[in-house]
Structure 1
Amino acid sequence: MPPRSSPTVRQQRLGAELRKLREQSGMTASQAGALLGADQARISNIESGRLGLSAERLRTLSRNYDCDDRDLVDALAGMTGDRARRWWEEYRETLPTGFLDLAELEHHALELRTTQTATLPGLLQTVDHARALFRETANPIPPHEVEYRVSFRIKRQAVLYRDDPLAFTAIIHEAALRMQFGGRAATRTQLHHILEMSESDHITVLVLPFEAGAFPAPGQTIVYAVGPVPQLDTVQLDHFHGPVFIDAAEQLDTYRRIVDRMESLALKPEESRDFIRDIALAL
């Protein structure tokens, strides 16, 4: 099988974790390839995410690297061999790859925690709210692409409705709740939708009011995706040029503390629902 030309973020992550294990063992790519019956180029392509590998081969590599973290090895093995064509692949020719990588991240996460200070969580947006956002991009996009993006965003929300729904915590600043994207009626509908979703057992909505004062990372949208083991957690940040994905251990720890701090400053779930309800009633 030839190397992939554009590996996904998940495929790149698997390769990067294997590279970490190899480097920690002090083994070169040539040595690793020799033990596996392959050449250095194959190991390099695996570590870049350009080539896949079976769970059996991954376990062989982990033994060669003297990795005794069984939970990590099991989690990495679970990332191999997934050749199922997921729903987001139908958008590969029409949307930026970062959108698809985000959908893949959400699909495989065990839990998502997000902080929103200027916009509302994509997983909780209504069609009208999402459409209003996409119509106001820095570089205007044609109407048909707006609809592609709205459709994609709504389909991403399936992770909240599946048989094993994703555990989702949204920490939303008051500023984001008060912004009237799409007008008063659309905003009122959007707030009622958030209220309805917050009643689900697997969804927690927490409001960070203006009166809470200062908080870390103001203005930055953070999505913290919990993996099967802490080493495989991922942070996604929004930027004008597209999603950015972070997985370095020190950075993960920093963003985990930021999200924890913002959650500690936010209102409790029932207080948050009352707060959102009051804003909606005032519209």
Structure 2
Amino acid sequence: MRGTPTGRQLRLGGELRKMRERAGLTSTQAAELLGIKQNQVSNIEAGRHGVSPDRLRGIARHYDCSDKALVDALASMTPDRKRGWWEEYRELLPSTLLDLAELEHHAQSLRSTTTARIPGMLQTREYALEIFRQAVIELAPPDIEHRLSFRIKRQAVLFREHPTPYAAIIHEAALRMKVGGPTVARQQLQHLLDMSERDHVTLRAITFDVGAYPGSGQSIYYAHGPVPQLDTVQLDQSHGSAFLDAEAQLHKYRTLFERIERVALSPDKTRELIHNVMREL
């Protein structure tokens, strides 16, 4: 039995619950079918009890799930004895941040849209430091250092041997905001240009001329799973991160991203805009 399940463990359990419900089974009926106790079914679905890949495939067969791609993807999510680097921060940072790092580590691809800030995955150390210094609830220097090192380590998915494809749509307001002063802002813009040259990074901007557009004012982070059913949306809220994975929610945000992309500049035009902003600093 686990203590506090990670976000990935909770998601696996939640998907098994959805699978059971689609089969029209109560937890009691599922327990009888699987030959286990009802509380074991509840613990598996709550992420408190792990299952092996073979056990998961057996559960899927009993639930008459014929979606092989989904079952294979869920089997790949079964417990791994290796601890992720984010576990070093378990007692130092909110668990939602650790869940975010775990989500990014396993994502097939990532995309984001922001209005007032450069996305965390593309922030320089100096830019991120200034963001943390301006937190609504003032952070102590050690807490700032923990968050800063954690943010930089998260970016490793963009630099590993097989980097995760990443697409960002950034509003012109974020590009022009002089976070940390002109020098830090210029270094940040140069970093965006450097990252945009990488094959797996796509950078697009939305200009002031566009005016209002779908999702304006909202920062959205979308992580693609191995199958669409396992995608996840992460939203920053005043009380912390919110993770969304209901089918209707995923459809909503996929559609929203498609509409935002229609009004964004091309990657080449985006680089031109960044160069112009740098010249004006």
Normalising by structure 1, we get a TM-score of 0.98
Unaligned runs of 5+ in 2: none
Contact persistence 2:53–2:75 (CA under 8 A): yes
**Aligned residue identity for 2:262:** S
Question: For 2:147, what is the secondary structure of its paired residue?
Answer: helix
Structure-1 separation of matches of 2:152 and 2:238: 20
- Pairwise mapping of residues 1-283 of structure 1 onto structure 2 (< 5 A)? 2=1, 4-283=2-281
Range with greater deviation from structure 2 (256-265 or 125-134): 256-265
**How far has the Cα of 1:229 moved from its partner?**
0.5
- Number of aligned positions between the proteins: 281
**How far has the Cα of 1:180 moved from its partner?**
1.1
Structure-2 separation of matches of 1:177 and 1:239: 22
Per-residue CA shift, 1:55-112, capped at 9, x if unaligned? Answer: 1110011000000000000000010021211100000100111110110110010011
Range with greater deviation from structure 2 (198-207 or 257-266): 257-266
Question: For 1:164, what is the secondary structure of its paired residue?
Answer: coil
Structure-2 separation of matches of 1:171 and 1:69: 33
Range with greater deviation from structure 2 (152-161 or 23-32): 23-32
Structure-1 separation of matches of 2:177 and 2:185: 8
Structure-2 separation of matches of 1:50 and 1:81: 11
Unaligned runs of 5+ in 1: none
RMSD: 0.8
Question: For 1:79, what is the secondary structure of its paired residue?
Answer: coil
**How far has the Cα of 1:213 moved from its partner?**
1.8
**Where has structure 1 moved over 6 Å in runs of 4 or more?**
none
Question: For 1:118, what is the secondary structure of its paired residue?
Answer: coil
Structure-1 separation of matches of 2:245 and 2:3: 22
Per-residue CA shift, 1:133-163, capped at 9, x if unaligned? Answer: 0011111010110011010000000000001
**How far has the Cα of 1:10 moved from its partner?**
1.0
Question: For 1:120, what is the secondary structure of its paired residue?
Answer: coil
**How far has the Cα of 1:22 moved from its partner?**
0.5
**How far has the Cα of 1:41 moved from its partner?**
0.5
Per-residue CA shift, 1:227-276, capped at 9, x if unaligned? Answer: 11110010000112111100011111111111111111100001100101
Structure-2 separation of matches of 1:263 and 1:7: 35
Structure-1 separation of matches of 2:222 and 2:32: 38
Structure-2 separation of matches of 1:169 and 1:212: 20
Structure-1 separation of matches of 2:84 and 2:6: 13
Structure-2 separation of matches of 1:162 and 1:281: 32
Structure-1 separation of matches of 2:92 and 2:36: 37
Structure-2 separation of matches of 1:162 and 1:24: 38
**How far has the Cα of 1:5 moved from its partner?**
2.4
